[in-house]
């Protein structure tokens, strides 16, 4: 029954505040390794389609925040978020880039699992680790 509920939940997509596990496709090797092993939190959805490296096939609308980010990853995330800053900071009412510290952008197809609680994501990671 839990599998059916997970499937039903995944039809709608993540909601702001949900915890997520991502498999990044377009970041650096360090960034891909970091995001695949850490639980992030979906904090903002950008309505405009954002593309990176002129890749129109993937839009990066989901802003994911991570905890315990190393200084190297902070720098990589910041460079990614600067691109977003110029797109969404159209007027004073938009969210400033400083609120996106320790964040990166993901497309929906890079978000592999999401749940309303961090514990559910931890269970998912443990199951994957032991091939359950």
The answer to whether residue 46 is domain-embedded is yes
The answer to whether residue 27 is domain-embedded is yes
Domain count along the chain: 1
Host H or E run for residue 21: strand 19-22
The answer to whether residue 72 is domain-embedded is yes
Going by pLDDT thresholds of 50, 70 and 90, the confidence category of residue 118 is very high
Provide the token pair at 97. Answer: 């880039």
Q: How much is the mean pLDDT over the chain?
A: 78
Q: Are 76 and 30 a contacting pair, CB within 8 Å?
A: yes
The answer to whether residue 8 is domain-embedded is no
The answer to whether residue 17 is domain-embedded is no
- Residue 44 lies in domain: 22-127
Supply the pTM of this predicted model.
0.77
Please indicate whether residue 99 or residue 76 has the higher confidence score (pLDDT).
76
What is the tens place of the pLDDT at every residue in 46-70? 776 666 555 555 677 888 999 999 8
């Amino acid at each position: 029954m839990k599998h059916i509920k997970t499937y039903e939940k995944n039809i709608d997509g993540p909601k702001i505040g949900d915890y997520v596990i991502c498999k990044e496709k377009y970041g650096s090797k360090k960034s891909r390794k970091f995001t695949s092993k850490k639980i992030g939190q979906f904090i903002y959805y950008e309505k405009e389609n954002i593309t990176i490296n002129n890749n129109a096939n993937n839009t990066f609308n989901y802003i994911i925040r991570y905890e315990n980010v190393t200084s190297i990853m902070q720098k990589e995330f910041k460079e990614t978020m600067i691109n977003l800053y110029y797109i969404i900071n159209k007027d004073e009412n938009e969210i400033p880039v400083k609120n996106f510290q320790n964040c990166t952008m993901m497309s929906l197809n890079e978000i592999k699992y999401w749940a309303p609680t961090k514990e559910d994501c931890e269970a998912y990671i443990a199951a994957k680790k032991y091939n359950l």
